[in-house]
Structure 1
Amino acid sequence: MRKPRDFDAELKALEDKARELKTRKVQQLGELAIATGADQLSADELAGALVAIAETKDTSKREAWAKRGVMFFESGSRRTAPASERNVRSDPAKQGSTQSPAGGSGSQ
């Protein structure tokens, strides 16, 4: 006779995994805000900018923002890149060379 599955234990394990993934996502979003300099904005400014971006349906703007994001990650211009968590490729001369999203054009 087969041993019955412990559905409660499996459900708890899945809930724990989902909680861990959500925590990691929140941490990574915070790290992204710091790396881009968005942590210098007030919470109201940052929330307003994110709402505007989320509501934007203009595909050309979204594509431009995506390209800018790719350039940001490829440039290695992240300001706070702990060596233990990221591939550090930044050059001190490049630091701060990427304009923050709040100061760029096309964000409205």
Structure 2
Amino acid sequence: MRKVKDFDAELNALNERAKLLKQRKIQQFGELIEATGADALDPDLLAGALIAAVAETDKGIMTKWSARGAQFFRETSRRSSRRAAGTGAGDKAPETGPQSA
């Protein structure tokens, strides 16, 4: 005999999962704003900049922004991996110049 599916329970579980994903997305946007330093901007300025970015249609500008964003994430990832390797959160690697042996 087949087991009867509880559609209400499955629907509730899916709704809860969607709610958690939306909360995670909002949290990650907030973390992104902090990581980029945009939290220091006036909220009106930040909103205006985001609206302008959404309205942008020039593919060249969007490509430049995407490349700059990808570079930001690569640099952030490298900094995080250095901290995990034991350089410490307070230690800063030199950004430019020759490295000492």
Structure with bigger helix share is 2
Contact 1:33 1:39 in 2 (8 A): yes
TM-score by length of 1: 0.72
By relative contact order (CA 8 Å, sep 6+), the higher-ranking structure is 1
d(CA) in 2 for partners of 1:44, 1:88: 34
Q: Which runs of 5+ in 1 are unaligned?
A: 82-86, 95-108
When the two structures are aligned, how many residues end up with a matched partner?
A: 87
d(CA) in 1 for partners of 2:77, 2:20: 28
Partner of 2:88: none
Q: Which runs of 5+ in 2 are unaligned?
A: 84-90, 96-101
Partner of 1:103: none
- Segments ≥4 residues shifted beyond 4 Å: none
d(CA) in 2 for partners of 1:12, 1:77: 36
TM-score by length of 2: 0.77
Secondary structure (helix, strand or coil) at the match of 1:76 reads helix
Partner of 2:45: 45
Which structure has the greater CA radius of gyration?
2
**Two-structure CA RMSD over aligned residues (Å):** 2.2
Contact 1:76 1:89 in 2 (8 A): no
CA-CA distance at 1:76 after TM superposition: 2.3
Secondary structure (helix, strand or coil) at the match of 2:61 reads helix
